[in-house]
Amino acid sequence: MSRALWARPEQQAPPMDEEQRLRELGYQPVLARRMGGFGNFAISFSVISILSGCMTLYGFGLGTGGPAVMMWGWVGVGLFVLCVGLALAEVTSAYPTSGALYYMADRLGGRRWGWYTGWLNLLGLLGAIAGIDYGAALFTGAFLNLRFGFEPTPGSTFVIFLCILLLHAVLNLFGVRLVSVLNSISVWWHLTGVAVIVGALAIVPDRHQSAEFVFTEFVNDTGWSSPFYVAAVGLLLAQYTFSGYDASAHLSEETSNASVSAAKGIVRAIWVSWVAGFALLAGLTFAIQDYAGTQNSATGVPPAQILLDALGSGGASALLLVVIVAQLFCGNAEVAAASRMVFAFSRDNALPGSALWRKVSSRTQTPAHAVWLSVAVAAVLAAPSLYSATAYGAVTAINVIGITPAYAIPIYLRLRAGDRFRPGPWSLGRWSKPVGWIAVVWVAVVTVLFCLPQKAPVTIDSMNYAVIALAAVLILASVWWYVARRSYGTPAPYGNAREQAEISEGIV
């Protein structure tokens, strides 16, 4: 499918000078290029984090379609997301910058395309930090409940959440080398953790659910009467988990041979997560002992109840620790990706206070102020969870409907450019157009889908606030456009990059 992906090592083109390529794209290198190909894959794999996404939204899936939608939805959504990832990887190979999606859209479609793509991408990344770290706080509360009788409340959970945000900010301030090492550890932690959890749930319990239950049981606790609608909403579990793989692109200015490594990192992170996530969901669902008891767990976290019922308090506590550490790895990687987006967007004067957020530490070559802004906004996004039990679902939907359209825009613009687009060293070849159109259509469908209400009747507590967040960021972006449009702009490319930009925009 991709020459760079399938060619033998001796047949591949030699690595290009990525620092020179970045200069051709208009940017002076200021970040430390200390991340290898595995580290680049690892950051996207860590952000996808099946032990975060699958586990934190498992309870949501139990009531929105149940086992059948969770299992088959994972298979179907994973296939479509792989198409999105393949198409995005091709464009990433041509434009390996920290700005990633918005820079691609700017080059292929113009300043307004880049502007709105950037704001959507930023909303999704910041929503992801909030969703991941709040999920880790929920699981930490469940662990404390099991071991020490701690009763999690919205207030105490939020305090744990703030502590996790602070931890991730501090870790990111040490530089990209530490982030890369932690992400590499995260890959093996996730894969080993899934193997241990699935193995324990397969061997220890005396009773398991039938295959018919796991793959065909449909459960509807949403209040909506349409099974099709409920199944569609239930896809949020998989779609939320399969997000954040643009992290490989955002870290491309800190990756060796980024034109190939970042593209491969995106694709590998998706398919490895697809396989491992299916095993995790199947292992959990086969091990359910009491469906209603799992949904209404005193721990507040249904997967914790599955572990408790199947393995006892000691085993459940040990495996919860495995999950919590994986979620901490995930949140740390997401802070890294979001802060690079803040840095890049500020570098092009797109954010209020851009001069502050684009500053880079001379000691660590890390955008320290961008790190602090990222965790601060994530804290604000999760604040409604103090007052509404449904707010966490809204935060996860914010992540999906913010970041997913941002994936499709550069893919669409690349398709619109047709043969005028000159791919980088990683290319889909003749598969580029069919895969690209599948990706664009899928993103259009899920964007509409996750703006819909998830429970009936629709009340203040049950409404989907994600659509309000999406509208707010689009309004903010539109208003700020008229303030910053004269100062905002990606730098003029030169050399080969200028020729590429002019061809893509139809100037030549």
pLDDT at 16: 59
The number of residues in the chain equals: 508
DSSP 3-state assignment of 215? Answer: helix
d(Cα 176, Cα 184) in Å, to the nearest integer?
Answer: 12
Interval 163-217: pLDDT, tens: 999 999 999 998 878 888 998 999 999 999 999 999 999 999 999 999 999 999 9
Q: What is the DSSP code (8-state) at residue 443?
A: H
* The pair of three-digit structure tokens given for residue 172, joined into one six-digit string: 């990111």
Report CA dihedral (144, 145, 151, 152) to the nearest 10 degrees: 60
Residue that has been written with the tokens 């959970």 in this structure: 157
DSSP 3-state assignment of 494? Answer: coil
Q: Indicate the average pLDDT of the chain.
A: 87
457 upstream amide cis, omega within 30 of 0:
yes
The predicted model gives 404-414 an average pLDDT of 93
* The pair of three-digit structure tokens given for residue 182, joined into one six-digit string: 């932690």
Q: How confident is the model at residue 243 (pLDDT cuts 50, 70, 90)?
A: confident
The predicted model gives 134-156 an average pLDDT of 88
The predicted model gives 304-310 an average pLDDT of 93
Interval 71-123: pLDDT, tens: 999 999 999 999 999 999 999 999 999 888 999 999 999 999 999 999 988 88
Q: Is the pLDDT assigned to residue 132 strictly greater than 60?
A: yes
Interval 255-268: pLDDT, tens: 989 999 999 999 99
Label residue 356 left, alpha or beta by phi (over 0 means left) and psi (-120 to 50 means alpha). Answer: alpha
pLDDT at 156: 92
Nearest to 259 by CA among 504, 11, 14, 1: 14
- Between 213 and 147, name the one with better pLDDT: 213
Q: Which secondary structure element, helix H or strand E, spans residue 219, and what is its range?
A: strand 219-220
Cα angle for residues 242, 245, 249 (degrees, 5° grid): 165
The predicted model gives 282-308 an average pLDDT of 92
Torsional sign, CA 102, 104, 105, 106: positive
User: Of 168-172, 316-320, 363-367, where does mean pLDDT reach its minimum?
Assistant: 363-367
Share of the chain above pLDDT 90, in %: 54
d(Cα 429, Cα 57) in Å, to the nearest integer?
Answer: 37
pLDDT at 459: 77
DSSP 3-state assignment of 255? Answer: strand
d(Cα 124, Cα 454) in Å, to the nearest integer?
Answer: 19
Q: Is the pLDDT assigned to residue 140 strictly greater than 80?
A: yes
The predicted model gives 368-379 an average pLDDT of 95
Residue that has been written with the tokens 């994986």 in this structure: 326
Q: Is the pLDDT assigned to residue 391 strictly greater than 70?
A: no
Q: How confident is the model at residue 393 (pLDDT cuts 50, 70, 90)?
A: low
Nearest to 262 by CA among 507, 21, 69: 21
> Do 103 and 344 meet the contact criterion of CB atoms below 8 Å apart?
yes
64-78, 134-148, 221-235: range with highest mean pLDDT = 64-78
Largest CA distance in the chain: 70
Residue 459: how many CB atoms within 10 A of its CB? 10
pLDDT at 292: 93
Q: How confident is the model at residue 396 (pLDDT cuts 50, 70, 90)?
A: low
d(Cα 44, Cα 333) in Å, to the nearest integer?
Answer: 8
* The pair of three-digit structure tokens given for residue 212, joined into one six-digit string: 């018919």
d(Cα 293, Cα 507) in Å, to the nearest integer?
Answer: 63
d(Cα 85, Cα 267) in Å, to the nearest integer?
Answer: 6
* The pair of three-digit structure tokens given for residue 274, joined into one six-digit string: 């697809």
pLDDT at 109: 92
The full DSSP string for 16-66 is P-HHHHHHHTT----S---B-HHHHHHHHHHHHTHHHHHHHTHHHHHHEEH
User: Of 76-85, 292-301, 384-393, 406-415, where does mean pLDDT reach its minimum?
Assistant: 384-393
Q: Is the pLDDT assigned to residue 53 strictly greater than 90?
A: no
d(Cα 355, Cα 284) in Å, to the nearest integer?
Answer: 48
pLDDT at 262: 94
Report the relative pairing of strands 219-220 and 64-65 from DSSP bridges: antiparallel
The predicted model gives 144-157 an average pLDDT of 86
d(Cα 121, Cα 144) in Å, to the nearest integer?
Answer: 35
> Do 139 and 302 meet the contact criterion of CB atoms below 8 Å apart?
no
The predicted model gives 347-368 an average pLDDT of 88
The count of C-alpha atoms lying within 13 angstroms of the C-alpha of 105, restricted to the half-sphere facing its C-beta, is 23
Q: Is the pLDDT assigned to residue 500 strictly greater than 90?
A: no
- Between 260 and 464, name the one with better pLDDT: 260
pLDDT at 123: 84
d(Cα 471, Cα 410) in Å, to the nearest integer?
Answer: 21
Helical H runs in 217-301?
Answer: 227-234, 236-241, 247-250, 258-286, 291-295
Q: How confident is the model at residue 13 (pLDDT cuts 50, 70, 90)?
A: very low
- Between 377 and 30, name the one with better pLDDT: 377
Cβ-Cβ contacts under 8 Å for 21 (sequence gap 6 or more): 96, 259, 497
